[in-house]
Structure 1
Amino acid sequence: MITRDEFRQIAANGTWKQNSSLIQLLGLCPLLAVTTNLVNGVMLSLATIIVMSIAGLAVASLRNLIPHEVRIPVFILIVAALVTVVDLLFNAGLHELYLVLGIFIPLIVTNCIVLARVEAFANKNPPLQAMFDGIFMGVGMLWTLALLGGLRELIGSGTLFSGIDMVFPGLHPLQLLPKDYPGLLLAILPPGAFILLGCLIAWKNWVEARAASRDNRQVPEPAVTGSGH
């Protein structure tokens, strides 16, 4: 079983405190390459969440049966099997999106986020905790990629949800800026991704610094008592 405090700590670590994209800076290859729009970032993140949660559950359940010397190859085999299933499901059900995401779905096997959490957490904790850790680490990746992809798409082309018709046929992207908006090509290119990622990291650090400063002001100063003569 998992306690409420454990659940809250795992959720907070995955989504904010140990955010894989903004704190650990893992998985930067898909982070920078796929987030040309919001839909691509969200869908790759969902695929990663599925792999991370099931891989964490499987490794935590089998950790006492896996010899320590061969644990890394076994972890990779487990992750590779799950990625293969996800890859085939995307190819069968979302073929157009599958072609857009290309090699980045199979590359989840080598994504440092997945292997790092399997080794650092799932290999040392019970199955339920490991599964939730995988889910919330993926959620942290999801909101980061969604925000980065949304910003790049909006600045680059003035739209949001470009490519949503590949997931939900019949839906169309939102044109938030005027149709004659020329777009900023830099935002869609890799240098724009680096710049916006740096801005997101700076924003997160600012939020945490402001919260820490507020907490420090709320801590009462100890009373000073003088000694009488």
Structure 2
Amino acid sequence: MNQYQEISWQGLWKNNPALVQMLGLCPLLAVTNTAVNALGLGLATLFVLIGSNITVSIVRNWIPNEIRIPVFVMVIASLVTIVQLLMNAYTYELYQTLGIFIPLIVTNCAIIGRAEAFASKNSVQFAAYDGLMMGSGFLVVLLALGAIREVLGNGTLLQGAEQIFGEAASNWHLVLFSPEQNFLLAILPPGAFIIMGLLIALKNKYDKRIEKLVIGEKTKQTIERARVTTESA
């Protein structure tokens, strides 16, 4: 694989920030009770991750090694402030719903980790693409978790989509079923832990299956090469 393919594979699957690195779990489990909340937080995190990676890559050669972490934190905090102000101006209801978890993006280890491990050592285009892939991987997990919890808990999907996409999205709200009482376990944080564990288990099971297929294919190729060598001799 070329470097772009490797970055995509790492960010979206093999080294996914949520499913593999287990980073950013506090907001991931706290605000993903609906798909819209999850999407809002995921997009905010994606913007900060891309912006911080680009900025760190640009200034990496001018930052003394001794103060690199404080500089990274300042960059991330500045971008989070921009996101906060934009959400306050254009998606105020969603901003109120997400509350403290928007400023807490500053402490998301996935963001500062990518700044330190990747952006500070690579060119701008690779750093930007890494931010895009890592942020997208985190966003996909957030969205999947939010959608599952919303469906199980409320029987709905995309409730409140107009908070992000405007009044045009007010009819995107789907009612899949109407429970007499909401399934509180799915809505509350314990349900998030359970569903997150199931998602991780499914990923691990799929990885093991792929690994077995790859090993089996390599074994077949080795046997075939040995047979050809034997017949040639």
Q: TM class by shorter-chain length?
A: over 0.9
Corresponding residue number in structure 1 for 2:85 = 88
Residue in structure 2 matching 1:169, options 167, 186, 190? 167
Q: Classify the secondary structure of the residue corresponding to 2:62.
A: coil
Amino acid at match of 1:45: G
Whole-angstrom CA distance in 2 between matches of 1:181 and 1:147: 24
Which of 2, 6, 18 is the aligned partner of 1:5?
Answer: 2
Deviations 1:160-186 (A, max 9, x none): 011112122251421012x24533110
Cα-to-partner distance string for 1:110-167 (whole Å, 9 max, x where unaligned):
1111111001100111111111111110000011000000000000011101111212
Q: In structure 2, how many angstroms separate the alpha carbons of the residues matched to 1:102 and 1:163?
A: 16
TM-score of the superposition, structure 1-length normalised?
0.93
What SS does structure 1 have at the residue aligned with 2:2? helix
Identity, in percent, stands at 47
Deviation at 1:39, TM superposition (A): 0.8
Runs of 5+ consecutive residues of structure 2 not aligned to the other structure: none
**What is the 5 A alignment of 1:71-220?**
71-167=68-164, 168-170=166-168, 171-172=170-171, 173-177=173-177, 179-219=178-218, 220=220
Partners of 2:29 and 2:189 within 8 A in 1: yes
The whole-number CA distance in structure 2 between the counterparts of 1:205 and 1:51 is 29
Amino acid at match of 2:57: A
Indicate yes or no: 2:57 matched with 1:60: yes
Post-superposition Cα deviations, 1:35-82, rounded to whole Å, max 9, x if no partner, equal 001111111111111111111011011111000000000001111111
How many residues matched?
A: 223
Structure 1 unaligned segments of length 5 or more: list them: none
Distance change (3 Å), C-alpha of 1:181 and 1:15: farther
How many Å separate the matches in 1 of 2:200 and 2:179? Answer: 32
In 1, are the aligned partners of 2:154 and 2:179 still within 8 Å (CA)?
no
- Kept in 2, the 8 Å contact 1:158–1:181? The answer is no
Deviations 1:79-110 (A, max 9, x none): 11111011100000001111001111111111
Indicate whether 1:22 and 2:19 are aligned.
Answer: yes
For 1:207 and 1:181, the matched residues in 2 are separated by 36
Distance 1:44 1:5 in 2: 31
Q: Distance in 2 between matches of 1:175 and 1:37?
A: 13
More helix by share: 2
Distance 1:182 1:200 in 2: 25
CA distance in 1, matches of 2:99, 2:90: 15
Whole-angstrom distance in 1 between the partners of 2:88 and 2:24:
22
Which amino acid in 2 is paired with 1:202? A
Query: Any conservation in 2 of the 1:157–1:181 contact (CA below 8 Å)?
Result: no
